[in-house]
Chains A and B, each alone.
Chain A
Amino acid sequence: MLYTELKVPEQAYGKSLQTYLMDPEKRRIYEEETEKTREKHNTYKPIEMNKAEVMDCAKRLEDFKFAAQQKMYMIVRQQKMPSEMINSIIIFEKENADDQFNFDTGKEEEDVEYNVKRLKMEDDEDYKKMTGDMEAKSKAFLEDRQKESQAVM
Chain B
Amino acid sequence: MTFDYFLTTKIHSLDYSVKHHVERFNTMKTERRALLKTQKDPKKPSEEYYLALIKKVAL
Contact = CB atoms under 8 A, between A and B. Distances in A.
Interface of A: 2, 5-6, 8, 12-13, 16-17, 20, 26, 29-30, 33-34, 37-38, 40-41, 88, 91-92, 95-96, 99-100, 102-103
A33 B53 CA distance: 24
Contacts of B32: 99
A40 B17 CA distance: 13
B29 to A, nearest CB: 8
Contacts of A33: 7, 11
A91 B43 CA distance: 18
Given A20-B6, A29-B7, 5 more contacts: A16-B6, A38-B14, A41-B15, A92-B57, A99-B36
Interface of B: 1, 3, 6-7, 9-11, 13-15, 18-19, 22, 29, 32-33, 36-37, 42-43, 53-54, 56-57
Main secondary structure of the interface of A (DSSP, over half): helix
Shortest beta-carbon contacts, A-B, top 10: A16-B1, A41-B18, A92-B57, A16-B6, A91-B57, A2-B13, A37-B14, A37-B15, A33-B11, A103-B36
A71 to B, nearest CB: 15
A37 B32 CA distance: 24
Given A41-B22, A103-B36, A103-B37, A95 B57 contact: yes
A13 to B, nearest CB: 7
Contacts of A38: 14, 18
Contact of A13 (B1, B7, B36): B1
